[in-house]
Amino acid sequence: MAFFIRPVSGTGAGTQGVNFAGFAAIGLTILIWSSWIITAKMGVELNLTSFDLAAMRYGCASIFLSYFAYQYRSVIFLTKPGHLICICLGAGLPFLFLATWGLKFTPASHAGILIPGSLPLFVTVLTALRAGVYPSAARLIGVAGIMVGIAILIIPEMLASDSPTMFVGHLLYLAAGLSWSIYTVAVNESAIPPLAASGLFSVVSCVLLFILYIFGAADTNIASIVLTQDVSRYLLIVVVQGFFVGTLSAFCFTYAVMTLGASIATALSSLTPLMVVLLSVLFLGETINTVILIAMVIVCFGVAVMSCNGLFRSFVIPPIFYRMRSK
């Protein structure tokens, strides 16, 4: 679902004039990132299992990105085993399983706020613990904004005794954010290039899925769906999960960074929670209340502040993932 992009400069080529192609690229990237959550929720409602969604997601990405992992196999072999494990598992099956399990209990709009919002928060903590890189006072404003937005969304459900499953879903989203954050820090500390890392965890995820299937531990409904139902309504999920998220969004975001510049592209990508909320209303018929709107605005603000202050030098796809840099 994601890979790191190492921008050439902090301003990019798009600083002279208005680069409409660059803005179109970042807009398409945000749409694809958001569509991942929406189509995953659709798949859950159509009885697709986490195994099914993982097979779509990592199977297609392996086809397109395994070449890059092979090209940098010497770098991968020299990487510490601990980093390789964090890369393959952090962005692999644990992340996707946690996210899709959460979608069984909560609306997609909550996932759009909690997963992208928690990522930079967890990366900040992990990087501070491992590398001693601490955010500046200005960046702490963004951290505080994200924490307040998350608290506004989850505390009411935590205190409500009549909706324990909603709170469980929120915890799963936060765990998914932590999982991808571990991947982010591991890639940040390794020498594996962006596309190679994405190809690596996609291939490893496919191998793990195959092992689960061989040993009868796979909970899948794909065969019964193909044999008994009209598969046309599943095509959108296959296309978005299998190609757009894993491959196309990566190249779109790369182009946006190179044309608009790292800071502009990252700041605009903070609109992902807003896009998820809008799409959840349009395509899933979800109801958006005042609490969700307030939490969304505050989280978007926090992520944007952290982005504009250059907290991370590299970016991870989808929804909003960054590499921290000390000054």
Give residue 71's pLDDT: 95
Whole-structure pTM value: 0.85
* Burial grade of 46 (CB within 10 A; 0-12, 13-18, 19 or more): middle
CA distance linking residue 65 with residue 83, whole number of Å: 19
Predicted confidence (pLDDT) at residue 3 exceeds the cutoff of 90? no
Q: What is the pLDDT of residues 274-285, one digit of tens each?
A: 999 999 999 999
Q: Which of 52-56, 246-250, 264-268, 321-325 has the lowest mean pLDDT?
A: 321-325
Nearest in space to 2 (alpha carbons), one of 285, 272, 251: 251
Sequence-separated (6 or more) residues with CB below 8 Å from residue 179 = 89, 90, 91, 94, 95, 98
CA distance linking residue 226 with residue 218, whole number of Å: 17
